[in-house]
Structure 1
């Protein structure tokens, strides 16, 4: 290789090194644009908005919270991974849908032993598909169960044959829902009708 060829080759090598160094430097600003961390207050705001309307888009959440969209997406992913957000459901007015669904609130008295706690009893009850919600409450009874079925007889059979027969359950009192005026902060119907006499066992 001549001196001229060697010099040309060294020039090309130097140019490649300079380009590589320039490329490394260009990555740094890109890394700085990663999603920022939301504050506890901003995270709470995201939760509040989604609780009011779970269909709120990421773009709308970003606009309402002042966060960028990437940060909003990260916040939601973290809340879902941590089981803070357990799911997304529609609030359905079954009367408006012309689909009959019978709902009931069931009071349960529970007797515990040394090996069984409220959580054990609740876990067993919560596995039934008819159970919409289950809470430990203060007062004259222990657990409050929200049950849903296609008919009063279905709900009654479920309570009597599945729930009441659990060893820890000593008493049940079922209250059938006559009408729903509001749910999840959403008003239903006009609330003028009294349907208490229209439901018979």
Structure 2
């Protein structure tokens, strides 16, 4: 098989690696066995390094993420962080609230949700606490 024919095969499978040998052979007016032999040889020679799938994650069904958010709050007189933690925990978006030591006071663990929903929750609800 000529170098030009092999390059054409590579260009075709680069765009769509799911095509069969017969599909490629029809497209290039070649024998399917010649296409199969050329592909096998190019795989053995490491010209073809693998077959990959390009995914449009924006259209994929699962666009949800988990979130852990650190909060710095002022403790309330007489109840410390308890009232604030209870208030945060009441939101349906929140799975758990933990008291922390260090630079932040509370750690908020959110349920799995789309990134935009989490960002909106943080901007519109948590930022007001």
Please tell me whether Structure 1 or Structure 2 has the larger radius of gyration of its CA atoms.
1
TM-score by length of 2: 0.48
